């Protein structure tokens, strides 16, 4: 018996599995990527050779060299800062143990930092970390 080969072959490329794989890769990289939340406040932090990083939830207070204060990403005065700190919900953690990061420009005066520490103590916060850059 003689078999005849068909002269027309209809080969098709199925792109759906390839699209599924590419989509899964995109999702994997989006989910596994960590995004750094960088504030829009520009501060030149002082350098330190012995600084250690602090992880976890915290409050960030920023003092610019022109005297502007920021509570997280909100511009505040000293009295507004005190009100924000007193009304801040720390969850199950006591205020004295809740971490506060203080970012002060290296040109900020010692008097400004002392005023911020006074406001923090009046509000019940004691765990203050000074942010620096690595030398």
Residues 52-96 pLDDT 10s? 665 567 888 999 888 889 998 889 998 999 999 988 888 888 888
Burial of 3 (0-12, 13-18, 19+ CB in 10 A): exposed
Residue 16 included in any domain: no
Residue 72 included in any domain: yes
Residue 38 included in any domain: no
Which residues does 41 contact at the CB level (< 8 Å), separation at least 6?
Answer: 62, 64, 70, 73, 103
For residues 33 and 38, give the distance between their C-alpha atoms in angstroms, rounded to a whole number. Answer: 15
DSSP state at residue 134: E
Q: Which domain holds residue 124?
A: 47-134
Residue 126 included in any domain: yes
Q: What is the secondary structure of 45-90 as a DSSP string?
A: PPEESS-----SS-EEEEE-TTS-EEETTEEE-HHHHHHHHHH---
Decide: 108 and 48 in contact? Cβ < 8 Å. Answer: no
Domain containing 79 — which CATH number? 3.30.420.270
Residue 63 included in any domain: yes
Residues 92-124 pLDDT 10s? 888 888 888 898 888 888 889 899 999 999 999
Residue 55 included in any domain: yes
Which SS3 state, helix, strand or coil, does residue 102 take?
Answer: strand
Residue 35 included in any domain: no
Residues 34-53 pLDDT 10s? 766 655 666 666 666 666 66
Domain count, the chain: 1
């Amino acid at each position: 018996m003689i078999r005849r080969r068909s002269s027309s072959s209809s080969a098709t490329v199925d792109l759906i599995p390839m699209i599924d794989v590419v989509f899964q890769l995109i999702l994997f990289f989006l989910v596994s990527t960590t995004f750094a939340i960088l504030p829009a406040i520009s501060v030149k932090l002082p350098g330190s050779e012995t600084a250690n990083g602090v992880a976890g939830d915290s409050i960030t207070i920023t003092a610019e060299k022109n005297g502007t204060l920021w509570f997280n990403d909100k511009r505040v005065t000293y009295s507004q800062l005190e009100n924000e700190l007193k009304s801040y919900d720390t969850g199950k953690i006591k205020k004295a143990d809740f971490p506060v990061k203080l970012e002060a420009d290296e040109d900020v005066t010692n008097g400004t930092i002392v005023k911020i520490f006074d406001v923090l103590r009046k509000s019940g916060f004691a765990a203050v970390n000074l942010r620096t850059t690595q030398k």
